Amino acid sequence: MKTRAWATPAADQPLAPFEVDRREVGPLDVQLDILFSGICHSDIHQARGEWGNSKFPMVPGHEIVGRVTKVGAQVTKLKVGDLAGVGCMVDSCRTCAPCDHGDEQFCQKGSAFTYNSTEMDRKTPTYGGYSKQVVVTEHFTLKVPTSLALQGVAPLLCAGITTYSPLRQWNCKKGDRVGVVGLGGLGHMAVKLAAAMGAEVTMLSTSRSKEADATRLGATSFALTTERSTFKTLAGQFDLLIDTVSAPHDLNSYLGLLRPYGAMALVGVPPKPLEVAAFSLINGNRRLAGSSIGGIRETQEMLDFCAKHQIVADVEVIPAEKINVAYERMVKNDVRYRFVIDAATI
């Protein structure tokens, strides 16, 4: 089945209209008409070849919300007419230990990611959400709550789960002191989710202009990381830091903000390696960790948590012809706080 999309032809080219072939619906497949597709900074990193793993042409997009138009004979999770979501993965082996444990993103055979990847046959390229339709095996679809505004739900499929998962891994709870580094797509979800879990949230940002937004999103305090005094005033304060920054920055300064045994979870992916001094970790038995999206079970848990707490992303809906402008604006830190493509315009 041919479907319209937007693709990057090469790392130094803008995105342009494109056509992809979606497979016929198999017994376990679900076909969606895509309604909204979020723009994640990972789309930009990959479309521009910044991680060194890009395959072209590339149809980015892994924050997908749509309506089910067809289901295979053995599908039980969804029916035609239901809302559904697709995040960063479209398949995995589902038999290895990580898959069995619900960590499909760490499949030992290599997960099939939603774009810039291949299906499990290792041959068929995957094309992402900047398109009109997608066909995905049932296990990798999510049930979307009907009580939330759909354009704000799309970003939950990556920005939401990527910040929910580390908050859960470090057992974020009432009274915990959580610092969120970087107020962009991931950062604004981290603030909303941590606040809903009862944490006392501090926004650590390079942008003074975002202070009022940080408070509105649920942060109890705001600190400018461009001022050295911040790192003195807040030294040793935090149980957990969630670092969402997509560009180079000094990890050692941030590690100094942790209380003894506190942890800093990296979710942002600056393209070049960052330096860490051993004493930044040794002083105070501090922990530096990473976190990659989240498994399917946890993604569903996150969506249900968001429905319960009425949490969606703050979005600016754009037509497809504005994707390249949106990329430029994101790189210039001009997004409040997620661009979402209206798939009707693709």
Q: Which spans of this chain sit near ligand NAP (rule: CB under 6 A)?
A: 40-42, 45, 158-159, 162, 182-187, 205-207, 210, 244-247, 249, 267-269, 291-293, 330, 333, 335
The Cα 62–Cα 65 span in angstroms is 10
Q: Is 58 in the site for Zn ion (CB under 5 A)?
A: no
Phi, psi of 264 (to 5 degrees): -115, 120
Which of the listed partners (ligand NAP, Zn ion, none) does 210 bind, with a CB threshold of 5 to 8 Å by partner kind? ligand NAP
> Is the Cβ of residue 30 or residue 268 nearer to ligand NAP in the bound state?
268
Task: Report what 92 binds from Zn ion, ligand NAP, none; CB cut-off 5-8 Å by kind.
Answer: Zn ion
DSSP H or E run through 211? helix 211-217
How many Å apart are CA 314 and CA 155, to the nearest integer?
9
For residue 83, give both structure tokens.
Answer: 């809302």
Binds 207, which of ligand NAP, Zn ion, none (CB < 5 to 8 A, cut-off by type)?
ligand NAP
Residue nearer to ligand NAP on the CB measure, 75 or 327:
327
Q: Is 85 helix (H, G, I), strand (E, B) or coil?
A: strand
Quick check: 92 binds Zn ion (CB under 5 A)?
Answer: yes
Is the CB of 3 or the CB of 42 nearer to ligand NAP? Answer: 42
Q: Which residue type is seen at 108?
A: Q
Site size toward Zn ion, by CB under 5 A: 8
**Backbone φ, ψ for residue 137 (5° rounding):** -65, 140
292 binds, among Zn ion, ligand NAP, none (CB under 5 to 8 A by kind): ligand NAP
| Nearest alpha-carbon partner for 314 in 190, 201, 200, 180 | 190
Q: Which stretch binds Zn ion (CB under 5 A): 25-33, 97-105, 163-171, 317-325?
A: 97-105
What residues form DSSP beta bridges with 177?
Answer: 200
C-beta separation of 246 from 270 below 8 A = yes
Q: How many CB atoms lie within 10 A of CB 56?
A: 15
Q: Applying CB under 5 A, does 340 fall inside the site for Zn ion?
A: no
The yes or no reply on residue 46 touching Zn ion (CB under 5 A) is no
40 binds Zn ion (CB under 5 A): yes
Binds 107, which of ligand NAP, Zn ion, none (CB < 5 to 8 A, cut-off by type)? Zn ion
Q: How many CA atoms lie within 13 A of 115 on its CB side?
A: 31
Chain residues binding Zn ion by CB under 5 A are 40, 42, 92-93, 96, 99, 107, 158
